[in-house]
Chains A and B, each alone.
Chain A
Amino acid sequence: VTPALLARAIVAVPAWPLAAAAALGAWWALVGKPSERVTARVVVGSLGLQLASALCALVAFVWGGGDAVHVRSGRWFEAGAYGFELTFLVDALSAPLVVLAALLTFLVAWFSVRYLHREPGFFRFFTLLAVFAAGAGLLFGGGSYDMLFIGWELVGLTSALLIGFFHERRTPMRAALRAITTYRVCDIGLVVGAVFIHDVAHGAAYVEAFGPAPWPHGTLHASAPAATLIVLCLLVAASGKSALLPVGTWLPRAVEGPTPSSALYYCALSVHAGAYLLLRSTPFLRASPVGAACVAAVGLGSAALASMIGRAQVDAKGAIAWASMTHVGLIVAEIGLGFPRVALVHLVAHALLRTWQMLRAPSWLHDELALRAAADGAPLPTGSFWQALVPARALDALYRLAYDRFFFETAQQRYVAGPVLRLGRYLDRAERRWVETVGAWHPPAAPPDSERPSAKNTRVEEAQHEP
């Protein structure tokens, strides 16, 4: 057994939970819904195996003296000069993150077995969790931007479906739709960025793009403008997934989902996926001072605003979500300022702490009282020093702005979603008129729309709340 051979265990990291999800899905389709016990055992078991595989990869990395191992496992498809390579990379960035992801997913799944006991969506939750684990494995362990994208999409879809877990209510549906809309639009940045990288580096694999130098170093063949373009594309993608402002307002609404999945996605892994993407692309950031400055500015701005908004929150999970956004903003700023190792440490520490916080959120009151008893009174909130420097009048205005989340959502609705929907409706009316003219349509006395007394009301309500 050699380190290179042991590192091939990385291939199994996404494979175990994917197999579990496929098996459960087939069972459900052909036999019926499996029991809680079977579901939990299959998923937690596969996540345990995933953790073991991830640890093997980490051991292989350390044993091999810290040399990156690039694992190729064939081509998925090809046409002309282009082919999709299935590759994995074990290096100083991916090894710790794959282990972190596998560990947190395993722990959260174990925790959820009791937390979601007798919940009607138990089976759905665990199947989606398995798909997520596979996605996270591909995202952090994949060896190319294309592989990362596959994991990215799996994580995004399961994220939206778990936000809408309690589907009897309308608000989780809206939150899920808001999240998936932001993802879909921002993912364009990742696809375009990946294709530019293909063009610049003649391949989307990290070893092809950055050469053999270990992370965070790398040799690039890209010019500064090309690197800037790529960094900006990736920044758009990272803003969607890591909930950086101005597009990240979906995140605090996303904690409508079950507590364990909120912890796993919006405190631990999914929210750091964007930061991982930027960390992975450090050589591009080094080649492009402008791009790096943009990343730092977005990160710092996001952290400052999210921190202010978080202070004006009145619910526990909302406050945790905004605090999570604040730290992700800081991590992104560290990446932009050129401290990738600091950012990596910050990322791991933040993921661990915040996950614990979110999992404890239902016991917040109990914890808070214990803390006050121990501290003999309420401790000063963090940032009180800075808050004292702001004049009182400005503080009022800031509070007002923070309470309304700096009107980001209103602006998204008014200037992006609204116009697109209005354009669509206008074109639809024109279409109907044209087809009715050509097709000689003479509708009966009452048009079918007015037959529904409830239709009009629900439509108005929808229009107000749709992202």
Chain B
Amino acid sequence: VNGLTALVLLPAFAALLTRLAPTSEGARRAAVAGAFATLLASLQVVASFDLGAPGMQMEWAGAVVPWARMQWHVGVDGLSVVLLPLTSLIGVATTLGLPRQSMNRASLAATLLTVSATLGLFVTLDLAWLAVFWLVRLAPGLDLIAATPDPALRRHVRRTWWVFLVAGSAPLFAAVIALGVLGHRAGLAAPFDLVRLTAMGVPRAWQLALFPALVVSVGMRMAVVPFHGWMSVLLEHGPPGVALLITGAHVALYAIARVILPLLPDACAVGMGPLMIAALLCALYGSVVALAQDDLRRMVAYLAVSHAGLMAGGLASMNAQSVAGSLLQSVASGLSLTGLLIIIRALHARTGTSHMDDHGGIARSAPRMSVFFLLFGLAAVGFPTTITYVSEDLLLHGVLDAHPLMAVLLLLATALNGITLLRAFFRTFMGPPPRGAPGGVDDLVPRERAVAFLLTTSIFLGGLYPRPLLEARQPVVTAIVSRTAHRAPHGH
């Protein structure tokens, strides 16, 4: 079996073991061991990856499924190879780091299945499989929502999930089918094959028709304003482990870089300019709403919306710096928001509330929780020496090249995000505790500390030595920029 296929199957197998384990403690061990094994396997893929080489590596293609014309064709390039360890790391962080009370056997298994589907989405080079994984990622979460005890809440989360995430995927499905029809007409044996479709090119009229459909679906999943309504619901009430994996913007960003930019370059040349302005306005909108939040989970949700706007804006400005910055930001944002959410969940599990006014002075009884919150917060707002500083610096230079005035929006959004997070830190972790608040909060337990340490180390190592991450993406970035540059109406 091909290594990449094994990587996709590994967490699914671990999920099966988690389900079958005789005791709940055994299920936990199986899940954590499975998550760590997936992390090691994805690091193995990274280790055997040749950084400088362009094109796909570790490619493997199976037979074409006769009726659906899908083909199990996998491979990685610089774009996807970074996302494999990121996904597995988030998997480890959720299975090991989230509070035990919220991670029962079903949650652990669902988290691992979501990891598996996400990895599948990153390694497949067949559009139909990509669309299938895009949808299948949502299935384990839906199963968990059905187990929510409060009926009103259950209905609310389920409805939000269906409207925004499942129904929001419909345009993407339609577009993928249309592309498959195009491939079939051109006589491709595997009509959904991304590599061949990219080489073949899509007629301009088709591109212009498919572009809006894909943008809506991807924007929905990325939680770019105005498609972001599900983010706060999911982070506040949704199943914690799966929610953490679904909210990461890197999946949708990957879809833009893998599908929209290569297949629809003409449409991008026309549509990306306005999209950039819209996305940056949305980033600022997310920051303003985040500033007004009193609940830490909702605050992170709107911070994520703001990040999504920044990344979408960076990718839409389509020059070397901003595309590299945007792709790096997706990694940075994934790491820092995961860290923040794990700390907030830990706090919530100990006190039953994540409202800022219910807390204060936590630093005295739980110094490690406070310091890690501060570090993840700094990482989320682009503080120098963290990986986000590098990505935001690149984003800024790229956006400035494309549209100088728009950079001010980006800067305002990042400045506001910084104020939001430090304000949350001062209100929640410092100052006097509010009247009637419990005496103290237990500090992070060793497993939570280990996860926080792992994430912080990745954030600061990536910040101090970002070159391998940028070099891995270099060929992809060059390809994206050169493919779209000569089609721009006025040339960049």
A interface with B by C-beta (< 8 Å) = 29, 76-82, 84, 149-150, 153-154, 157, 160, 164, 167-170, 173, 176-177, 180-181, 184-185, 187-188, 191-192, 195, 198-199, 420-421, 423-425, 427-428, 431, 434-436, 438-444, 452, 454-455, 458-459, 462, 466
A173, B397: Cβ atoms closer than 8 Å? no
Q: Does B68 contact A (CB under 8 A)?
A: no
Given contacts A79-B320, A167-B430, is CB(A427)–CB(B292) below 8 Å? yes
Q: Does B447 contact A (CB under 8 A)?
A: no
**For B390, what are the chain A residues with a Cβ–Cβ distance below 8 Å?**
76-77, 84
B160, A424: Cβ atoms closer than 8 Å? no
CB of B410 to closest CB in A, whole Å: 10
B289, A164: Cβ atoms closer than 8 Å? no
Given contacts A427-B285, A428-B289, is CB(A452)–CB(B357) below 8 Å? yes
Task: Tell me the residues in window 225-274 of chain B with beta carbons closer than 8 Å to chain A beta carbons.
Answer: 229-230, 232-233
A79, B378: Cβ atoms closer than 8 Å? no
Given contacts A427-B285, A431-B232, A454-B434, is CB(A184)–CB(B384) below 8 Å? no
Residue of A nearest to B287 (CB): A424
Residue of B nearest to A439 (CB): B160
B interface with A by C-beta (< 8 Å) = 152, 155-157, 159-160, 163-164, 229-230, 232-233, 285, 288-294, 319-321, 324-325, 355, 357-358, 361, 363-364, 368, 378, 383-385, 390, 393-394, 396-398, 400, 407-408, 411-412, 415-416, 418-419, 422-423, 426-427, 430-432, 434-436, 449, 453, 466-467, 470, 474, 477, 481
Residue of B nearest to A79 (CB): B324
Given contacts A167-B430, A168-B432, A177-B426, is CB(A455)–CB(B358) below 8 Å? yes
Q: A170–B427 Cα gap in the complex (Å)?
A: 9
B292, A425: Cβ atoms closer than 8 Å? yes
**For B467, what are the chain A residues with a Cβ–Cβ distance below 8 Å?**
77-78
Residue of B nearest to A81 (CB): B320
User: Which of B155, B361, B407, B481 lies in contact with A167, CB distance below 8 A?
Assistant: B361
Given contacts A180-B422, A435-B160, A459-B357, is CB(A79)–CB(B477) below 8 Å? yes
**For A421, what are the chain B residues with a Cβ–Cβ distance below 8 Å?**
291-292
User: Which of A78, A149, A440, A462 lies in contact with B357, CB distance below 8 A?
Assistant: A462
How many contacts between A and B, using CB within 8 angstroms? 162
Residue of A nearest to B477 (CB): A79
CB of B389 to closest CB in A, whole Å: 8
B159, A438: Cβ atoms closer than 8 Å? yes
**For B363, what are the chain A residues with a Cβ–Cβ distance below 8 Å?**
167
CB of B228 to closest CB in A, whole Å: 9
**For B396, what are the chain A residues with a Cβ–Cβ distance below 8 Å?**
191, 195
**For A427, what are the chain B residues with a Cβ–Cβ distance below 8 Å?**
285, 288-289, 292
Show 9 residue pairs from A and B whose CB-CB distance is below 8 angstroms, ordered by the A residue.
A76-B390, A77-B466, A79-B321, A81-B321, A153-B383, A167-B361, A168-B431, A423-B292, A440-B159
Q: Which among A79, A184, A423, A431 has the greatest number of chain B C-beta atoms within 10 A?
A: A79
Q: A441–B427 Cα gap in the complex (Å)?
A: 29
Q: A157–B425 Cα gap in the complex (Å)?
A: 13
A192, B411: Cβ atoms closer than 8 Å? yes
A188, B229: Cβ atoms closer than 8 Å? no
Q: A187–B422 Cα gap in the complex (Å)?
A: 15
**For A80, what are the chain B residues with a Cβ–Cβ distance below 8 Å?**
319-321, 324, 398, 477, 481
**For B325, what are the chain A residues with a Cβ–Cβ distance below 8 Å?**
79
User: Which of B368, B419, B435 lies in contact with A181, CB distance below 8 A?
Assistant: B419
**For B290, what are the chain A residues with a Cβ–Cβ distance below 8 Å?**
424
User: Given contacts A167-B363, A439-B163, could you give 15 more A-B pairs where the C-beta distance is less than 8 Å?
Assistant: A80-B324, A80-B398, A82-B397, A154-B384, A167-B364, A167-B430, A168-B432, A173-B431, A180-B419, A181-B419, A181-B423, A184-B418, A199-B400, A420-B288, A452-B355
A439, B229: Cβ atoms closer than 8 Å? yes
Given contacts A157-B378, A440-B155, is CB(A435)–CB(B233) below 8 Å? yes
Residue of A nearest to B460 (CB): A22
B400, A195: Cβ atoms closer than 8 Å? yes
Residue of B nearest to A151 (CB): B384
Q: A23–B393 Cα gap in the complex (Å)?
A: 27
**For A444, what are the chain B residues with a Cβ–Cβ distance below 8 Å?**
152
CB of A151 to closest CB in B, whole Å: 9
Top 8 closest A-B pairs, CB basis? A80-B320, A424-B292, A79-B324, A167-B430, A439-B160, A441-B156, A150-B384, A173-B431
**For B422, what are the chain A residues with a Cβ–Cβ distance below 8 Å?**
160, 177, 180
Residue of B nearest to A428 (CB): B292
B453, A29: Cβ atoms closer than 8 Å? yes
B431, A188: Cβ atoms closer than 8 Å? no
**For A441, what are the chain B residues with a Cβ–Cβ distance below 8 Å?**
152, 156
CB of A380 to closest CB in B, whole Å: 42
Residue of A nearest to B291 (CB): A424
A78, B470: Cβ atoms closer than 8 Å? yes
Q: Which among A180, A439, A444, A452 has the greatest number of chain B C-beta atoms within 10 A?
A: A439
**For A424, what are the chain B residues with a Cβ–Cβ distance below 8 Å?**
288-292
**For B288, what are the chain A residues with a Cβ–Cβ distance below 8 Å?**
420, 423-424, 427
Residue of B nearest to A431 (CB): B289
User: Which of A167, A454, A459 lies in contact with B436, CB distance below 8 A?
Assistant: A454
Q: A75–B477 Cα gap in the complex (Å)?
A: 20
B432, A169: Cβ atoms closer than 8 Å? yes
Residue of B nearest to A131 (CB): B385
B394, A177: Cβ atoms closer than 8 Å? no
Q: A169–B427 Cα gap in the complex (Å)?
A: 11
CB of A349 to closest CB in B, whole Å: 31
Q: A438–B159 Cα gap in the complex (Å)?
A: 8
CB of B379 to closest CB in A, whole Å: 12
A188, B411: Cβ atoms closer than 8 Å? yes
Q: A131–B293 Cα gap in the complex (Å)?
A: 31
A455, B393: Cβ atoms closer than 8 Å? no
**For B430, what are the chain A residues with a Cβ–Cβ distance below 8 Å?**
164, 167, 173
User: Which of A81, A157, A187, A462 lies in contact with B415, CB distance below 8 A?
Assistant: A187
Q: A198–B397 Cα gap in the complex (Å)?
A: 9
CB of A87 to closest CB in B, whole Å: 15
Given contacts A79-B477, A420-B288, A428-B289, is CB(A443)–CB(B152) below 8 Å? yes
A149, B384: Cβ atoms closer than 8 Å? yes
**For A425, what are the chain B residues with a Cβ–Cβ distance below 8 Å?**
292
Q: A81–B358 Cα gap in the complex (Å)?
A: 49
User: Which of A78, A187, A192, A466 lies in contact with B407, CB distance below 8 A?
Assistant: A192
Residue of B nearest to A191 (CB): B411
A455, B470: Cβ atoms closer than 8 Å? no
Q: A160–B155 Cα gap in the complex (Å)?
A: 44
CB of B296 to closest CB in A, whole Å: 14
**For B436, what are the chain A residues with a Cβ–Cβ distance below 8 Å?**
454
Given contacts A192-B407, A458-B434, is CB(A184)–CB(B419) below 8 Å? yes
User: Which of B152, B232, B233, B357 lies in contact with A458, CB distance below 8 A?
Assistant: B357
Q: A435–B427 Cα gap in the complex (Å)?
A: 27
Q: A198–B407 Cα gap in the complex (Å)?
A: 14
Q: A466–B357 Cα gap in the complex (Å)?
A: 14
**For A195, what are the chain B residues with a Cβ–Cβ distance below 8 Å?**
396-397, 400, 407
